[in-house]
Amino acid sequence: MKTFKTLKLKIRQFSIKYFIILIPIFGIIALIALSALLNLTSDKSIKISTKNAQKSCRDWNNYEQIYKEMIRKGPGENGTAVILTDDNELALNKKLFSATGFGVVVSDRISVNRSIKDTRHPNCQKYLYPEELPNVSIIIIFYNEVFSVLQRTLHSIVNRTPPELLHEIILVNDMSSNSELYDPLEDYVLDNFPNTTIRIKNLLERKGLIVTRLEGAEIATGEVLVFFDSHTEVNVNWLPPLLTPIKANRRLATNPTIDYFSPETFKVDGAPHYSDRGAFDWELIWHQLSRKVPDGYNKLKPYPNPIMLGCAFAIDRKFFMEELDGYDRDFRIWNAENYELSFKLWLCADGLYEVPCSRITHTFRTLNPSRSNVPYDYLGRNFKRLVEVWFDDHKDVVYDRNRERYDKIDPGDLNRPKSVRARLNCKNFKYFLDYVIPELIMKYPIDKKVPVFASGQIKSMLNVSYCMDFVKGQNNETARLKNCKEGDIPESQYFRMTFHKNIVFGHTELCLDAYNINFLECHYTEFGNQFWRFNLKSNMINNGSDDNKSCLTADFEEHKLYMKTCNVSDINQKWKFSYQNSTALNDWENIYGYEKYFYAGQEINWNSMLPLEYDEECSMD
C-alpha cells in the first residue's frame, strides 16, 4: 500500500512538473496558430489597394516575443511602479535622484529586459505594412546616463525591433564623467548583444545633445536615421509603422507617439490613442494643442505634427544630412533643434507626421543636473539663432516677451543656417502660422494687448494692503500674500485672467494651479486645477466652473493663500483686480479662447490636421 501511494505521488509530481513545462509551449503554439489565422484572414480585414496589389504586405508583429513578455513577473514588469519601503534604500535613492534625476535604486531593481504594456489602439494590431522597408541606424546620445537606464533602452530596442530592419545602433558618449559608461559599457555590449551591430563613439570634449547627435549621424550607414534619448523604451511593433511613410516619401519625417514613464517609480502611463499636436508659445516653450479631425477619417493614420518634441523621430539619412544640412551646428547643449528641424520640414520639405500606431515610452526628468551648471544663457542664444533665421516679421513677437534678455545676447555667425534656408527656397514663417498650425494664435496671441477678463494686482478686499505675489523658489513657483506695491505695478504682482479662464503670471506661460497654489506650465483646458472663475458680483475667485466649489482664500497670519469651500459670507475670499473687464465678465458663459477675436468672419484652414494621404502599399482603411 505504501509503495502504491509513493507511486501515485511520483506520478502526480511528474504530471504537475511537465504540465507546468507544457503550459508556455501550448501558449506559443496557440499564438502561432493565431498568427497564421490572422495572415489567412488579412485579405478580409485589410484591403490592399488594387493599384499596388502586386506589392507584398506583412504582419510584422512578433507574437513569440509578445507572449514571452505577457508572462513575465517581477518588479516593474508590464510598466508597473516600483515603490521602495526600506529606509536605507529610500535614503540612497533620494541621494542618487539629486545627482542624476532618476530613482537609481528603483531602476537597478527592475530587469533590463522588463516588459511594458502595449499602449497601441487595438486596431493597430491588425494593420499590415510593406514587406520591404528601409533599414535603420538608431542613434542614442548620452551624458552621465544611469547605467541600468541605458541598458534597458538598448534591450528594449533589440528585443522589439525586427533584426532585418536594425542595421546598427550607434551610441555617442558626450564626454561623460561616469566611468561605467566607458569600458564597462563596451564589455556589456559585447557580452549581451553578439548578434547586433552596436558602435560606441566617445567624444573627447563635451558638445551637448545637438552636435553629439550629428556626430552619430556622420558615421551612420543605415538608410534611415532614428534618434532616441538614452532613457527610452520602445513598444510592440514600433518600427514598421514609423518607416512606412518615409518609404513612400523620403522628404518627410515621422515621430512616434510618446508615452511617459516616471523617473522616480518607472511606472508607464500611456498617452491618448489619438494624440495632440506639438506647438509653442511666444516664449518658445513647447506645448500640445488638441487635434480636431472630422468624422469619416481614420485617426490612426499618420497625421501632421507642426512641432516635434525632439526625443524620438525618424528621417531619411541622406535627406537629413545632405539636403537639410542636419541641425544648426552652432546650437549649444540642448533645445531649439526640434523647432529648427520642424520648420525645415514644413517650410522647405514635405512635413513631419506623428504615427499613432508607433509607440515608445520616455521620461521627462524634473531634475536634470547636466544642464544646471552651464555658466551662460545657452538657451537664450539658441532661441535667438532660431528666431533670426526663421521667424521673419515675427521676430519681435518673441523678443518683446523678454527684451532685456535678448538684447544682450550675441547669436553668433548665422551665415550657414541662412544660406541653407535660401538654398532650399523655403516658405515664409507666415505660411507656417496660416497653413501648418492656424490654431496656434488662438491659444497664444501674438499681441500682448489682447482682451482679458481682468488684470493687474489681485488685492484682498478685507485687507487692501495685501496682494497676491509671485514667489520663485528653488524648486517651484508659488503664490503668497505680500504688501501691495503702490504706483507702477511690480512684475511679481501683475497677473492676467485671460479668455482661457486661467490666471497667468504676467506675460509668461505660468498659470495659477489650485493644487498647493503653485504656478505651473499652463494646461489650457476647460476644467481642472487651472480653470478659474472671477465672479463680479461676489468678488470671489473659484476653481472650476461651479461657483459652489472651492475658492481662493487669504490667511493673513501665515501670509499664504489656500483653497477652501466657497462661502459668500467669508470676507477672506473677497478679491479685486486692478482692471476688471465688466463687459466680458458679464458675458462669461459665452467667452472662451481667442478664436472669435482673431478669426471673426474668416474661415480657418483645418486641413492641417487631416491624416497623411499617400499611395499606401498596405491600406489602413
Q: Which of 391, 420, 447 is the last residue of a domain?
A: 447
| Cα-Cα end-to-end distance for the chain | 69
Query: Residue 370: its pLDDT value, please?
Result: 60
- Reported as a single tens digit per residue, the pLDDT across 49-59 is 334 344 699 99
**Closest to 395 measured CA to CA, from 414, 423, 419:** 414
Maximum CA extent, the chain? 104
Q: How confident is the model at residue 593 (pLDDT cuts 50, 70, 90)?
A: confident
Backbone angles phi, psi at 608, to 5 degrees: -65, -10
**Closest to 276 measured CA to CA, from 311, 305, 242, 235:** 305
Query: Residue 30: its pLDDT value, please?
Result: 47
* Least confident window among 377-391, 501-515, 587-601: 587-601
Specify the amino acid at residue 465: S
Shared domain for 412 and 364, answered yes or no, is no
Query: Residue 20: its pLDDT value, please?
Result: 41
What HEC string does 4-57 produce? Answer: HHHHHHHHHHHHHHHHHHHHHHHHHHHHHHHHHHHHHHHHHHCCCCHHHCCCCE
Q: 311 or 290: whose pLDDT is higher?
A: 311
DSSP β-ladder status, 166-173 and 198-202:
parallel
**Closest to 496 measured CA to CA, from 471, 514, 522:** 522
CATH at residue 532? 2.80.10.50
Q: Are 571 and 555 in contact (CB under 8 A)?
A: no
10 Å CB burial of residue 51 (0-12, 13-18, 19+) is exposed
Q: How confident is the model at residue 367 (pLDDT cuts 50, 70, 90)?
A: low
- Which residues are 199's β-sheet partners? 170
Shared domain for 201 and 77, answered yes or no, is yes
In a domain, 597, yes or no: no
Q: Are 358 and 254 in contact (CB under 8 A)?
A: yes
Shared domain for 243 and 352, answered yes or no, is yes
* Least confident window among 96-110, 233-247, 295-309, 442-456: 442-456
CATH at residue 241? 3.90.550.10
DSSP β-ladder status, 136-142 and 303-304:
unpaired
In a domain, 505, yes or no: yes
Q: 550 or 31: whose pLDDT is higher?
A: 550
DSSP state of 16: H
Shared domain for 273 and 287, answered yes or no, is yes
Distance, in Å, from the CA atom of 193 to the CA atom of 185, rounded to the nearest integer, reads: 12
Query: Residue 110: its pLDDT value, please?
Result: 96
Shared domain for 439 and 505, answered yes or no, is no
Q: Is the pLDDT assigned to residue 91 strictly greater than 80?
A: yes
- Reported as a single tens digit per residue, the pLDDT across 423-456 is 999 999 999 999 999 888 888 888 777 889 999 9
In a domain, 6, yes or no: no
Tell me the H-state helices in 283-361: 317-318, 337-348
Dihedral Cα 116, 119, 120, 126, nearest 10 deg: 50
Q: Which of 372, 406, 439 is the last residue of a domain?
A: 372
Query: Residue 2: its pLDDT value, please?
Result: 38
Q: Is the pLDDT assigned to residue 368 strictly greater than 70?
A: no
Q: Which of 388, 418, 447 is the last residue of a domain?
A: 447
Query: Residue 134: its pLDDT value, please?
Result: 97
Q: Is the pLDDT assigned to residue 78 strictly greater than 80?
A: yes
Tell me the H-state helices in 249-391: 317-318, 337-348, 369-372, 378-390
Query: Residue 3: its pLDDT value, please?
Result: 39
Q: Are 284 and 406 in contact (CB under 8 A)?
A: no
* Least confident window among 144-148, 174-178, 286-290, 546-550: 546-550
CATH at residue 437? 1.10.8.460
Distance, in Å, from the CA atom of 226 to the CA atom of 159, rounded to the nearest integer, reads: 16
- Reported as a single tens digit per residue, the pLDDT across 398-414 is 998 889 899 999 999 99
Shared domain for 359 and 268, answered yes or no, is yes
Q: How confident is the model at residue 73 (pLDDT cuts 50, 70, 90)?
A: very high
* Least confident window among 178-192, 256-270, 508-522, 591-605: 591-605
In a domain, 228, yes or no: yes
Can you give the residue range of the structural domain that contains 64?
57-372
In a domain, 187, yes or no: yes
Query: Residue 545: its pLDDT value, please?
Result: 67
Instruction: Retrieve residue 207's grid coordinates.
Output: 558638445
Distance, in Å, from the CA atom of 435 to the CA atom of 456, rounded to the nearest integer, reads: 35
Distance, in Å, from the CA atom of 7 to the CA atom of 2, rounded to the nearest integer, reads: 9
Shared domain for 480 and 526, answered yes or no, is yes
DSSP state of 243: H
Query: Residue 348: its pLDDT value, please?
Result: 97
Shared domain for 489 and 548, answered yes or no, is yes
In a domain, 38, yes or no: no
In Å, what is the CA distance from 221 to each residue of 102, 106, 293, 328, 451?
33, 36, 38, 21, 54
Q: How confident is the model at residue 487 (pLDDT cuts 50, 70, 90)?
A: confident
Distance, in Å, from the CA atom of 320 to the CA atom of 550, rounded to the nearest integer, reads: 52
DSSP state of 316: E
Cell numbers 519681435 correspond to 396
Cell numbers 512538473 correspond to 17
Burial 66-79 (b: 16+ CB within 10 A, else e): bbbbeeeeeebbeb
Query: Residue 54: its pLDDT value, please?
Result: 45
Which residues have C-beta within 8 Å of that of residue 258, sequence separation ≥ 6?
Answer: 271, 275, 309, 311, 312, 360, 361, 362
The number of angstroms, rounded, from the C-alpha of 133 to the middle of its chain's C-alpha atoms is: 26
Q: Is the pLDDT assigned to residue 31 strictly greater than 50?
A: no
Neighbours of 397 (CB within 10 A): 18
Q: How confident is the model at residue 527 (pLDDT cuts 50, 70, 90)?
A: confident
DSSP β-ladder status, 550-555 and 560-565:
antiparallel
In a domain, 33, yes or no: no
Counting residues of the chain whose pLDDT is more than 90, the rounded percentage is 69
Shared domain for 440 and 508, answered yes or no, is no
- Reported as a single tens digit per residue, the pLDDT across 225-237 is 999 999 999 999 9
In a domain, 14, yes or no: no
Q: How confident is the model at residue 356 (pLDDT cuts 50, 70, 90)?
A: very high
* Least confident window among 44-48, 105-109, 573-577, 606-610: 44-48
Q: How confident is the model at residue 293 (pLDDT cuts 50, 70, 90)?
A: confident
Backbone angles phi, psi at 184, to 5 degrees: -60, -35
Burial 603-617 (b: 16+ CB within 10 A, else e): eeeeebbebbebebb
Distance, in Å, from the CA atom of 211 to the CA atom of 175, rounded to the nearest integer, reads: 13
The answer to pTM > 0.75 is: yes
Q: Is the pLDDT assigned to residue 327 strictly greater than 90?
A: yes
DSSP state of 322: I
Coil vs helix vs strand at 11: helix
* H helix or E strand, kind and range, residue 542: strand 540-543
Q: 410: number of CA atoms within 13 Å, CB side? A: 2
Shared domain for 434 and 311, answered yes or no, is no
Distance, in Å, from the CA atom of 196 to the CA atom of 156, rounded to the nearest integer, reads: 13
10 Å CB burial of residue 13 (0-12, 13-18, 19+) is exposed
Q: 380 or 619: whose pLDDT is higher?
A: 380
Counting residues of the chain whose pLDDT is more than 70, the rounded percentage is 86
Distance, in Å, from the CA atom of 48 to the CA atom of 325, rounded to the nearest integer, reads: 37
Q: 128: number of CA atoms within 13 Å, CB side? A: 25
- Reported as a single tens digit per residue, the pLDDT across 4-28 is 333 333 334 434 344 444 444 444 4
Shared domain for 154 and 271, answered yes or no, is yes
| Domains held by the chain: number | 3
Query: Residue 605: its pLDDT value, please?
Result: 65
Shared domain for 572 and 479, answered yes or no, is yes
Q: 260: number of CA atoms within 13 Å, CB side? A: 11
Query: Residue 338: its pLDDT value, please?
Result: 96
Query: Residue 7: its pLDDT value, please?
Result: 35
